[in-house]
Amino acid sequence: MAFEKMIHDAFEESRNNSRLGDTTDEINEIKEYIKNAKKIYVPNKNGIKVKVLNEVLNKYGLPEAEILQINTSTADTSRIPALAKAYMALDQSDADLIIARGRLGIPGSGSLLIFIDNKGRILTCGTSPSHPIHKKSLEQAVYEEACEALEKIGFDKRLKK
Amino acid sequence: MAFEKMIHDAFEESRNNSRLGDTTDEINEIKEYIKNAKKIYVPNKNGIKVKVLNEVLNKYGLPEAEILQINTSTADTSRIPALAKAYMALDQSDADLIIARGRLGIPGSGSLLIFIDNKGRILTCGTSPSHPIHKKSLEQAVYEEACEALEKIGFDKRLKK
Ligand SMILES: Cc1c(O)nc(CC(=O)O)c(C)c1O
Ligand SMILES: Cc1c(O)nc(CC(=O)O)c(C)c1O
């Protein structure tokens, strides 16, 4: 429960107005949570995103994700489609980690790839501009967003951890 | 109302399952919305973020932002602190554009700089890792996040637009 304690303690700091920003210990708790995830799901219709994500998870020495085949298309009418997809997957599974990708905000706002925990809290993310701007393949964009999300919390491809 | 029509039309595409992702026209509507913003507010206690943001807005030929002095510290106990700050600023002002920066998610998840419109919809964003990872000054991190948010929707420093 070091993870829950970390969240609890930071909450108290915020409440006391004594919070000075993130700490290395907090980042390490997020990394441990991801390393120890037993059920990682990726909501998706086809398997393209899952294949790419598993390539990335593998490169960083992390456990594999599974596809959760649910129709998330209604998420695109919500305020943060990527997050709506992640919540749908959480509510339809017993995952302890969800990785979801979709639009960031309004049409034209590009994409967001988001990691959430077993309670729907955001652990990390990666983003891309709209595809008409970056002109990359879906695979390449997902690949780079996932690397960004992991490197952001200190995972290192070369160390495989 | 081209902006509202764009959002309406994309919503219909999503409802009909005919949506194929963002279009250049949509991105251009977001750019026009930002270019034409009359009241841009940045919620902040001190003026550091606003000073840096105005440097950036200036580099891209965009209108200046003003500080909105509200205490946003309770936002840090919410799920997406950066977004909570943006909503607070929206609800406490008559802004048509809010630029807010705060934590992305749980403690350790790093920072999110977000642009929202007059209804609280997300237009674009920039992110950074936690400061113990990137080791940049607050000024430098805010600067880079703001450039990322603007370049992501096609603004170009060299063209000043
Ligand atoms: C439904 C949807 C949409 O409209 N836009 C995007 C961003 C993009 O086109 O780059 C995405 C990822 C998406 O899933
Ligand atoms: C309250 C708060 C917090 O705990 N963590 C961060 C991210 C960081 O430290 O890099 C930010 C921006 C913040 O406003």
Residue B160 reports pLDDT greater than 90:
no
Q: Under a CB-based contact definition with an 8 Å cutoff, are residues A149 and B109 in contact?
A: no
Task: Please give the pLDDT value at position B75.
Answer: 96
**Of residues B160, B155, B158, the one with CA closest to residue B28:** B155
| 3-class secondary structure, B152 | helix
Q: Which range (A135-139, A140-144, A157-161, B138-142) has the least confidence?
A: A157-161
Assess if residue A3 is contained within a domain. no
B150: its two tokens: 């603007």
The 8 Å CB, 24+ separation contacts for A81-84 are A82/A111, A82/A112, A82/A113, A82/A114, A83/A112, A83/A114, A83/A116, A83/A122
Of B17, B26, B74, the CB nearest to A108: B26
Is A153–B129 a contact, with Cβ atoms under 8 angstroms apart? yes
Tokens 């600023």 belong to B89
Is B79–A121 a contact, with Cβ atoms under 8 angstroms apart? yes
| 3-class secondary structure, B43 | strand
Assess if residue B21 is contained within a domain. no
Tokens 């063209």 belong to B159
Residue B1 reports pLDDT greater than 90:
no
* A109 in contact with B, Cβ within 8 Å: yes
For residue A83, the enclosing domain spans: 36-151
**Among B74, B111, B136, residue to substitute to test ligand 2 (most atoms within 8 Å of Cβ):** B111
DSSP assignment letter at A70: -
For chain A positions 31-90, those within 8 Å of chain B (CB to CB) are 73-74, 76-77, 79-80
Q: Under a CB-based contact definition with an 8 Å cutoff, are residues B11 and B3 in contact?
A: no
Band of pLDDT at residue A1, cut at 50, 70 and 90: low
Q: How far apart are CA B129 and CA A14, in angstroms?
A: 19
| Three-class secondary structure assignment of B60-90 | CCCCCCEEECCCCHHHHHCCCHHHHHHHHHH
Looking at residue A125, which CATH number applies to its domain? 3.40.50.10150
Assess if residue A161 is contained within a domain. no
pLDDT tens-digit series, residues B48-84: 899 999 999 999 999 999 999 999 999 999 999 999 9
pLDDT tens-digit series, residues A23-53: 999 999 999 999 999 999 999 987 889 999 9
Secondary structure element (H or E) that encloses residue A124, with its range? strand A122-128
**Of residues B139, B123, B157, the one with CA closest to residue B28:** B123
Task: Please give the pLDDT value at position A161.
Answer: 65
Assess if residue A114 is contained within a domain. yes
Q: Mutate which of A15, A87, A130 to test chain B, going by most B C-beta atoms within 10 A?
A: A130
Residue with the bigger pLDDT between A26 and B157: it is: A26
Q: Report CA(B103)–ligand 2 centroid distance (Å).
A: 5
Q: Under a CB-based contact definition with an 8 Å cutoff, are residues A108 and B29 in contact?
A: yes
Residue B158 reports pLDDT greater than 80:
no
Is A123–B130 a contact, with Cβ atoms under 8 angstroms apart? no
Number of domains in chain A: 1
A9 lines ligand 2 (CB under 6 A): no
Assess if residue B1 is contained within a domain. no
Residue A136 reports pLDDT greater than 70:
yes
Q: How far apart are CA A96 and CA A101, in angstroms?
A: 17
Q: Report CA(A80)–ligand 1 centroid distance (Å).
A: 11
Question: In chain B, pLDDT over 90 holds for what percent of residues?
Answer: 93
Residue A158 reports pLDDT greater than 80:
no
A21 lines ligand 2 (CB under 6 A): yes
Is B131–A6 a contact, with Cβ atoms under 8 angstroms apart? no
Assess if residue A13 is contained within a domain. no
Assess if residue A134 is contained within a domain. yes
Assess if residue A4 is contained within a domain. no
Q: How far apart are CA A86 and CA A7, in angstroms?
A: 20
